[in-house]
């Protein structure tokens, strides 16, 4: 029989665990992006980096809002990715990129329509992983009897 205090402790720890996992995923995504740049060139590095950019944004959304649904996290990450890309139609990102390497990494400098597709690829990939991880966690919680909802008390 699960005691109420155990259930509350598990529920309270869940967002913390989710944030920690998202932070680790963000670090791994940055590492994957840097690794991709180190071993690949041309379109593979560019468009793979675009997809990973959106995956990184998704992990940051989950870190900030650990109970967010996979669809909302992916949609938010895609919206920000597209907004940054469309911002490149102005001179602001290019001006900032000339002054700062960080701005260049975050904002880019030049609008490129195919980037929009690759951001969507990253959003779908991130959504898929997030959905699978949530389903696995729900399955474990259900088998352990620690899932949400009414139970023996």
Among 104, 107, 129, which residue's Cα sits nearest to residue 22?
129
pTM metric for this prediction: 0.83
pLDDT tens digits along 13-34: 589 999 999 999 999 999 999 9
pLDDT tens digits along 105-119: 899 989 999 999 999
| Average pLDDT of every residue of the chain | 88
CB 122 within 8 A of CB 81: yes
Work out whether the CA dihedral 115, 121, 32, 82 comes out positive or negative.
positive
What confidence category does residue 1 fall into, taking pLDDT thresholds of 50, 70 and 90? Answer: very low
pLDDT tens digits along 34-87: 999 999 999 999 999 999 999 999 999 999 999 999 999 999 999 999 999 999
Nearest-5° angle of CA 97, CA 101, CA 102?
Answer: 95
């Amino acid at each position: 029989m699960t005691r109420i205090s155990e259930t509350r402790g598990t529920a309270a720890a869940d967002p913390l665990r989710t944030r920690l996992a998202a932070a680790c995923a963000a670090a791994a995504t940055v590492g994957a992006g840097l690794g991709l740049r180190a071993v690949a060139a041309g379109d593979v590095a560019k468009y793979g980096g675009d997809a990973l950019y959106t995956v990184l944004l998704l992990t940051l959304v989950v870190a900030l809002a650990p109970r967010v649904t996979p669809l909302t996290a992916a949609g938010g990450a895609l919206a920000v990715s597209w907004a940054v890309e469309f911002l490149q139609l102005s001179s602001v990102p290019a001006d900032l990129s000339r002054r700062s390497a960080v701005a260049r990494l975050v904002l880019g400098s030049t609008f490129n329509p195919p980037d929009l597709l690759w951001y969507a690829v990253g959003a779908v990939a991130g959504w898929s992983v997030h959905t699978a991880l949530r389903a696995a966690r729900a399955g474990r919680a259900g088998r352990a009897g620690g899932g949400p909802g009414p139970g023996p008390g």
